[in-house]
Structure 1
């Protein structure tokens, strides 16, 4: 009887080892699946934001080059609140445990930071262009600021990406919010150089400057 009990105990011990190994494998697989689901959900959200914002960004920069910083501020509000609506709706479906008030706060802060920085850059660009009447010099005067802004936003995106993959819920949410803060600012800054370059070199919307130059002469 004793030998049978020892034999049964050994069998159960081996079974427990196998069960523990299987549990670890299943748990690790579930962890990888959770990370994969987070990344896929994030990519879908990111694509939605890019598609919704591209048209508004183009119009904003085209009109801001033509007229004044007021148009840039107006369309930046439209762009940022549009992406905020997309984020809130999507996160309500996919990430129900994330506080929507944090996203509202994040959107407002992104709006303030982007609008202020881009307004300063645009104002400097227009001032340099009207003073020197040279497109290349005007662009050269703001390239350093644009590059610095893009570099800062890239560091925000990289840092928040690491936080986004964390298992701690608070860290995960903070990384998610910080990531979109960097994405919004990057989306708003990156097209600035290309669109403004296109506008100036193709002479789209340069008639206000030509009128001012003619009046000055």
Structure 2
């Protein structure tokens, strides 16, 4: 009887090991499936935002050449609000479990951060150009700021991408928001340098410079 009980115990122990292994495999498969769904939803949101950003940045780029630099800031705000609305609608439709109020708040804060950073860079760019009358020196004076901004935004994107794949729902939402905040700010810094370059070359928006030229003549 004792030997039969020991044999039965060994059988159950082996079965328990097999059951645990199967449970681990099933759990790992479910985890991979969850990560796959998150990556797919991330790619869909990313492609949607990039397409919207490219279209709106192109409009802002063209209009900022033929008009004042105020249009550049205006269409920057339009771009930020447009992408925020697109992302918000997409997330609500796809049930991404993101708090809409928190998302809107993040979009507004992103708008303020991007607009302020762009205004500071543009103001320094214009000031240096008016003082030196040299486009190369003016651009050189703001290259460090633009590079630092891109580097910061890149780190935000990378860190939020890691948070995006986390299993904690609250951390997911935080990482999701940080990620798109990084995308929005990064997409703006790069074309902003080219738009500012064309604005300076065509003297668009440099009204003090035009007045100085008129007074000199």
TM-score, with structure 1 as normaliser: 0.85
The C-alpha deviation readout for 1:167-200, integer Å capped at 9, x for no partner, is: 1111111111111111111111112223444565
Contact (CA 8 Å) 1:166, 1:172: kept in 2 or not? yes
Please report how far the alpha carbon of residue 40 of structure 1 lies from its aligned counterpart in structure 2 after TM superposition: 2.0
For 1:110 and 1:155, the matched residues in 2 are separated by 16
SS in 2 for 1:95: coil
Mark the runs of 5 or more structure 1 residues left unpaired by the alignment.
Answer: none
The C-alpha deviation readout for 1:116-136, integer Å capped at 9, x for no partner, is: 110121122223323332221
Please report how far the alpha carbon of residue 6 of structure 1 lies from its aligned counterpart in structure 2 after TM superposition: 4.8
Mark the runs of 5 or more structure 2 residues left unpaired by the alignment.
Answer: none
Contact (CA 8 Å) 1:81, 1:107: kept in 2 or not? yes
SS in 1 for 2:120: helix
Please report how far the alpha carbon of residue 97 of structure 1 lies from its aligned counterpart in structure 2 after TM superposition: 1.9
Contact (CA 8 Å) 2:135, 2:200: kept in 1 or not? yes
Please report how far the alpha carbon of residue 84 of structure 1 lies from its aligned counterpart in structure 2 after TM superposition: 0.6
- Superposition pairs for residues 172-183 of structure 1, below 5 Å? 172-183=172-183
Please report how far the alpha carbon of residue 12 of structure 1 lies from its aligned counterpart in structure 2 after TM superposition: 3.2
Contact (CA 8 Å) 2:125, 2:138: kept in 1 or not? yes
For 2:107 and 2:128, the matched residues in 1 are separated by 31
The C-alpha deviation readout for 1:25-53, integer Å capped at 9, x for no partner, is: 11012112211221221121011101101
Tell me the number of residue pairs that the alignment of Structure 1 and Structure 2 aligns: 217
Contact (CA 8 Å) 2:163, 2:176: kept in 1 or not? yes
In structure 2, the CA distance between the partners of 1:136 and 1:38, relative to structure 1 (3 Å rule), is same
For 1:72 and 1:141, the matched residues in 2 are separated by 20
Please report how far the alpha carbon of residue 155 of structure 1 lies from its aligned counterpart in structure 2 after TM superposition: 1.7
Contact (CA 8 Å) 2:107, 2:181: kept in 1 or not? yes
Contact (CA 8 Å) 1:65, 1:205: kept in 2 or not? no
Please report how far the alpha carbon of residue 79 of structure 1 lies from its aligned counterpart in structure 2 after TM superposition: 0.3
For 1:180 and 1:121, the matched residues in 2 are separated by 22
SS in 2 for 1:98: coil
Please report how far the alpha carbon of residue 64 of structure 1 lies from its aligned counterpart in structure 2 after TM superposition: 3.8
Contact (CA 8 Å) 2:68, 2:204: kept in 1 or not? no
For 2:2 and 2:93, the matched residues in 1 are separated by 59
Contact (CA 8 Å) 1:129, 1:137: kept in 2 or not? yes
In structure 2, the CA distance between the partners of 1:46 and 1:6, relative to structure 1 (3 Å rule), is same
Q: CA RMSD in A?
A: 2.9
TM-score, with structure 2 as normaliser: 0.85
Contact (CA 8 Å) 1:98, 1:173: kept in 2 or not? yes
Contact (CA 8 Å) 2:68, 2:205: kept in 1 or not? no
Q: Larger deviation: 150-159 or 122-131?
A: 122-131
Q: 2:197 maps to what in 1?
A: 197
In structure 2, the CA distance between the partners of 1:167 and 1:98, relative to structure 1 (3 Å rule), is same
For 1:56 and 1:208, the matched residues in 2 are separated by 29
Contact (CA 8 Å) 1:106, 1:181: kept in 2 or not? yes
